[in-house]
Amino acid sequence: ENSPAPLPERAIYGFALFLGSWFGFMLYLIWAYVPETWLFSLGLTYWPQKYWAVALPVYLLVAIGIGYILLFGINMMSTAPLNSTHTITDSYAKKQQQKKLQEEAIPALRDIPISEVNRMFFLPEK
Amino acid sequence: ERRFRSASGQPIALRRRQHSASCRELAVRCPRLQLRSLSAVTSAVWLAAYGLFALSENSMVLSAAIFITLLGLIIYLHFVKVEQESLLVIGSLGIQVTSSYASGKESTTFIEMGRVKDVVINEAIHMQKVIYYLCILLQDPGDPEGISEVVPLFQSSKPRLDCLIEVYKSCQEILEQRTAPRVE
């Protein structure tokens, strides 16, 4: 069965990810800070340009900042305008069938039309 | 005339007039243009223009700022600033919606009663708030069950729920006469 309890396999995956991320971080620091001549003298010549050691983090942070604004904008654009019928009903509510009322049973779930809801809320009970 | 508040807190006033048993007029009056906000905007624009003039030493900036302020004020009063929004419900004829702007312009829409399904208070998400607003549900004359269009009312004054309930009750009293059998 699926359970979130700790398992030996999960511990091993976690430790492997931990080692991998530390190795990646050390590699990034070495690439960014160690001068090129020292790396060439070791025989490691095939590195990307050091320009990217600064550019990639900046790109990432700007993308995250724009992502906040973009998400807000997408949400506002997807909101139905006040004059659209999507605020009142939708395709499922239009096609719903009227179920027969059975005595002594809980009535079936249905979408109540907005006129009925308004009358119930705002007109005083006669 | 009764005082209410709009959704953003501005004071608005509702006036109800009963012309006859099946004809009612409901008018919502928005607050007038405040002198302090007008002078604040004008001073801000002129200060910015003076700053630009100090940087660029070009005196056209100042005259352009005056021109822009005057033109902007005229456009705002004529197209944006709504002074009064009114709803005229005539029992067997239809519903007329009028918006009067601050410059005196009036824009009117008439919807015949055959197309009107109901007048309801709906709630929807608007900008970052959920607001109640009154709207007319229109139906196709050939399809009395479906809603073909939604016409929101009082868009500029945006009254709160207490004012909307008053308007809703008044409208429903007239609209109920459509289906109720006439008792002589």
B95 and B171 in a single domain? The answer is yes
- Say how far apart CA B18 and CA B25 lie, in whole Å: 6
Quick one: average pLDDT of A9-14? 93
pLDDT of B141 reads 82
Establish if B184 belongs to a structural domain.
no
B88 and B75 in a single domain? The answer is no
Instruction: Indicate the pLDDT class of residue B76, thresholds 50, 70 and 90.
Output: very high
Average pLDDT, chain B: 91
B116 and B161 in a single domain? The answer is yes
Full residue range of the structural domain in which residue B63 is found: 35-79
Q: Which of A1-5, B1-5, B6-10, B154-158 has the lowest mean pLDDT?
A: A1-5
B99 and B160 in a single domain? The answer is yes
- Using the predicted structure, report yes or no on whether residue B180 has a pLDDT greater than 90: no
- The residues that bridge with B14 in the sheet, in sequence order, are B2, B28
Cα first-last separation, chain B: 33
Residue of A122, A123, A126 to mutate when probing chain B, most B C-beta within 10 A: A122
**Chain B nearest-CA residue for A76:** B127
What one-character DSSP code corresponds to residue B180? S
B121 touches chain A (CB under 8 A): yes
- Using the predicted structure, report yes or no on whether residue A40 has a pLDDT greater than 90: no
The model carries a pTM of 0.79
- Say how far apart CA B89 and CA B92 lie, in whole Å: 9
> B9's torsion region: left (phi>0), alpha (psi -120 to 50) or beta?
left
Report the residue count for chain A: 126
- The residues that bridge with B98 in the sheet, in sequence order, are B86, B108
- Using the predicted structure, report yes or no on whether residue A68 has a pLDDT greater than 70: yes
Quick one: average pLDDT of B17-29? 92
Q: Do A87 and B122 touch (CB under 8 A)?
A: yes
- Using the predicted structure, report yes or no on whether residue A126 has a pLDDT greater than 60: no
Instruction: Indicate the pLDDT class of residue A60, thresholds 50, 70 and 90.
Output: very high
Establish if B112 belongs to a structural domain.
yes
pLDDT of A93 reads 84
Q: Do A114 and B126 touch (CB under 8 A)?
A: no
Establish if B100 belongs to a structural domain.
yes
pLDDT of B184 reads 53
Average pLDDT, chain A: 89
A84 touches chain B (CB under 8 A): yes
Beta strand extents in chain B (DSSP E only): 2-5, 11-20, 23-29, 82-90, 94-101, 106-112, 116-126, 129-138, 149-152
B97 and B159 in a single domain? The answer is yes
Burial class (CB in 10 A: 0-12, 13-18, 19+), B119: buried
* Cα–Cα separations (whole angstroms), residue B159 to A37, A82, A99, A122, B163: 73, 15, 38, 16, 6
Instruction: Indicate the pLDDT class of residue A62, thresholds 50, 70 and 90.
Output: very high
Number of domains in chain B: 2
Closest CA to A78 of B29, B125, B114, B161: B125
Cα pseudo-dihedral B167, B168, B170, B171, rounded to 10: 110
CB pairs under 8 A between A and B: 50
Query: What is the ipTM metric for this complex?
Result: 0.78
**Chain A nearest-CA residue for B176:** A119
Walk across the sheet containing B129-138 and list its strands.
B116-126, B129-138, B149-152
A71 touches chain B (CB under 8 A): no
Q: Structural domain boundaries of chain A? A: 48-80
B48 and B61 in a single domain? The answer is yes
Residues on chain B touching A94 (C-beta within 8 angstroms): 146
- Using the predicted structure, report yes or no on whether residue B58 has a pLDDT greater than 90: no
B6 and B42 in a single domain? The answer is no
Question: Rounded to the nearest 5°, which phi and psi values hold at B85?
Answer: -120, 130
Minimal Cα–Cα distance from B116 to chain A, Å? Answer: 12
pLDDT of B106 reads 95
B26 and B39 in a single domain? The answer is no
B160 touches chain A (CB under 8 A): no
- Using the predicted structure, report yes or no on whether residue B181 has a pLDDT greater than 80: no
pLDDT of B183 reads 62
Q: What is the pLDDT of residues B115-160, one digit of tens each?
A: 999 999 999 999 888 999 999 999 988 888 888 999 999 999 999 9
B13 and B72 in a single domain? The answer is no
Establish if B10 belongs to a structural domain.
yes
Establish if B174 belongs to a structural domain.
yes
pLDDT of A44 reads 80
Tally of CB atoms within 10 A around A45: 8
pLDDT of B13 reads 93
Q: Do B150 and A83 touch (CB under 8 A)?
A: yes
- Using the predicted structure, report yes or no on whether residue B179 has a pLDDT greater than 80: no
